[in-house]
């Protein structure tokens, strides 16, 4: 990822938290495991609410990522300033956006994808999400930039 | 309406023989059209006036789909947490007055008083096969599928039985059976709870150009199936002819099941509840998602414009 300023970093972190939360809420787990029973968390078990929120946070994350990339290009910064972990996270984010974008298209009326593609998209999106969480925690804990 | 519920048992016996009568030439024509490559979805029109509640369709459905019914393994895994409900219909396979994993179609009795006349109706109820089915589109595993011919079905080899499809269905149609399916091989106590079952419109018969079992078996020709445009035209013509009403064409954004009745649907008194879906006006539940999806196209443009704006300001300050 491009070197980020503090406010953008915070926005990215908040977006990532909520998009992951609403993404996991697409699975019927929050009610099963009592999380939706906690006062103020009931919305996590309302699938249409979390679905709409996931779309909204996805839109904001896409906007932020495009902003970061265009800003990086216009600033004529060197690619060498991007850490290896940043590159890895960037590639995972791109994969999430592509698979997520395909799922959004799939959800529109009158759109039919093959069953294999749908299954691959669902598993791919979840797998990439888990990979992003893993890499993010790794860099957060280690505070290590892999060059 | 003259047909009474009490007639059902008499008619059931009478029409068992009639159900085996060779298909008429019009049915053969309709069946062959189902086999053709068709870009339009298939719609069934259900003329409620004709239904006598004989349940021939129910038994035909059970017989045709018996190989797909669940065969749960016992004992069921201990569920964690304990609040996770066990849904077991394997000892109640004969239940036919509601939707269950072993009964994908049932006859729902209804009464109404309209225009000074009392009506007793019997309505075949099953999956509506929505045009944009939330059960399919929101399944987190891709276990529910929609075919280009409009039918939606649940793949019992992939479904984990989380029941999300039932929660998001406006009619709560899919029904769960515990103790069967993929979850037993993953984390049986911690994730999943069986497999969800519902009408799949006898896809195996449609693939061969045959009629769904319920349509084929009906002695009264209550249901007609065909391409969407044709069936909508037919439903409207029928409604006009009987000065009647339509349900299903626009519900939940449009479904592939259209009921036609001489009684307004909001006047019907139905017994609803678990496994007995209502017949109320349903808004398009996927509409918000579809609108947000279209708005999502603006996101990259907004991001790029913000970056260009920052660049423009910087150049302006430098100049």
Q: Which pLDDT tens digit goes with each residue over B249-274?
A: 999 999 999 999 999 999 999 999 99
Helix (H) or strand (E) holding B9: helix B7-19
Contact B279/B270 with Cβ under 8 angstroms? yes
* Cα–Cα distance for residue pair B132/A133, rounded to 1 Å: 32
Cβ of A59 and B295 within 8 Å?
A: yes
CA distances from A31 to A27, B35, B97, B172, B204 (A): 10, 43, 30, 18, 36
Neighbours of B189 (CB within 10 A): 12
Q: Which residues contact A102 (CB under 8 A, 6 or more apart)?
A: A113, A117, A121
Query: What is the pLDDT, as a whole number, of residue B18?
Result: 40
Question: Mean per-residue pLDDT for B124-146?
Answer: 95
Cβ-based burial of A66 (10 A; exposed 0-12, middle 13-18, buried ≥19): buried
pLDDT in tens, chain A (147 residues): 444 456 777 888 899 999 999 999 999 999 999 999 999 999 999 999 999 999 999 999 999 999 999 999 998 888 777 888 889 999 999 999 999 999 999 999 989 899 999 999 999 999 999 999 999 888 888 765 544
Q: Is A94 on the interface with B (CB under 8 A)?
A: no
pLDDT, tens digit (0-9, with 9 covering 90-100), for B289-312: 999 999 999 999 999 999 999 999
Nearest CA in chain B to A118: B142
B22 pLDDT higher than 60: no
B319 pLDDT higher than 90: no
Helix (H) or strand (E) holding B259: strand B257-261
Nearest CA in chain A to B153: A115
* Cα–Cα distance for residue pair B249/B232, rounded to 1 Å: 8
Which of B140, B203, B285 is the best substitution to test chain A (most A C-beta atoms within 10 A)? B140
* Cα–Cα distance for residue pair A19/A136, rounded to 1 Å: 14
Query: What is the pLDDT, as a whole number, of residue B34?
Result: 53
Query: What is the pLDDT, as a whole number, of residue A86?
Result: 87
Between A71, A109, A118, which is nearest B290 by CB? Answer: A109
CA distances from B140 to B7, B70, B165, B172 (A): 45, 22, 9, 17
Over chain B, what is the mean pLDDT? Answer: 89
Cβ of A104 and B296 within 8 Å?
A: yes
Q: Is the ipTM of this complex over 0.85?
A: yes
B277 pLDDT higher than 50: yes
B26 pLDDT higher than 90: no
Query: What is the pLDDT, as a whole number, of residue A85?
Result: 86
Q: Return the closest-CA partner of residue A106 out of B252, B161, B198, B140.
A: B140
Cα of A78 to nearest chain B Cα, Å: 17
Cβ of A71 and B311 within 8 Å?
A: yes
B29 pLDDT higher than 80: no
Cα of B42 to nearest chain A Cα, Å: 13
Cβ of A70 and B81 within 8 Å?
A: no
Cβ-based burial of B153 (10 A; exposed 0-12, middle 13-18, buried ≥19): buried
Cα of A43 to nearest chain B Cα, Å: 14
pTM over 0.90: no
Question: Mean per-residue pLDDT for B189-211?
Answer: 95
Query: What is the pLDDT, as a whole number, of residue A81?
Result: 79
Cβ of A107 and B299 within 8 Å?
A: no
């Amino acid at each position: 990822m491009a070197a980020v300023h503090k406010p953008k970093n915070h926005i990215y972190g908040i977006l990532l938290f909520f998009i992951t939360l609403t993404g996991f809420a697409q699975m019927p787990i929050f009610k099963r495991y009592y999380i939706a029973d906690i006062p103020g968390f009931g919305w996590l078990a309302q699938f249409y609410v979390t679905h709409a929120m996931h779309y909204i946070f996805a839109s904001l994350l896409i906007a932020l990522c495009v902003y970061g990339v265009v800003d990086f290009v216009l600033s004529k910064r060197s690619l060498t300033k991007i850490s290896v972990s940043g590159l890895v996270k960037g590639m995972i984010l791109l994969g999430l956006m592509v698979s997520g974008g395909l799922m959004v298209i799939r959800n529109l009326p009158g759109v039919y994808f093959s069953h294999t593609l749908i299954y691959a998209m669902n598993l791919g999106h979840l797998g990439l999400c888990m990979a992003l969480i893993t890499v993010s925690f790794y860099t957060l804990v280690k505070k290590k930039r892999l060059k | 309406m003259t047909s009474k519920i009490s007639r059902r048992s008499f008619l059931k016996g009478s029409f068992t023989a009639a159900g085996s009568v060779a298909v008429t030439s019009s049915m053969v024509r309709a069946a062959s059209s189902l086999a053709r490559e068709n870009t339009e979805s298939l719609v069934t029109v259900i003329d409620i006036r004709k239904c006598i509640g004989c349940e021939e369709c129910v038994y035909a459905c059970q017989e045709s789909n018996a190989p797909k019914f669940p065969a749960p393994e016992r004992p069921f895994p201990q569920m964690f947490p304990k609040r996770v409900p066990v849904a077991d219909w394997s000892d109640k396979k004969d239940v036919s007055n509601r939707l269950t994993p072993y009964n994908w179609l049932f006859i729902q009795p209804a009464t109404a008083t309209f225009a000074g006349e009392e009506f007793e109706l019997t309505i075949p109820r099953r999956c509506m096969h929505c045009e944009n089915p939330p059960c399919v589109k929101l399944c987190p595993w891709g276990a529910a599928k929609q075919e280009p011919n409009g039918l939606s079905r649940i793949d019992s080899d992939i479904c984990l039985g989380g029941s999300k499809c039932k929660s998001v269905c406006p009619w709560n149609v899919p029904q769960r059976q515990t103790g069967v399916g993929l979850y037993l091989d993953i984390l049986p106590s911690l994730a999943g709870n069986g497999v969800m079952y519902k009408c799949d419109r006898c896809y195996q018969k449609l693939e061969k150009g045959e009629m769904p079992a319920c349509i084929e078996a009906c002695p009264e020709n209550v249901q007609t199936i065909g391409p969407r445009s044709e069936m909508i035209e037919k439903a409207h013509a029928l409604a006009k002819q009987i000065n009647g009403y339509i349900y299903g064409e626009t519900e939940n954004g449009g479904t592939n099941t259209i009921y036609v009745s001489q009684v307004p649907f909001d006047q019907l008194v139905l017994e609803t509840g678990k496994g007995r879906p209502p017949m109320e006006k349903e808004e398009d539940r996927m509409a918000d998602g579809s609108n947000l999806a279209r708005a999502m196209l603006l996101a990259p443009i907004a991001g790029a414009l913000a970056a260009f704006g920052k660049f423009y300001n910087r150049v302006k300050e430098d100049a």
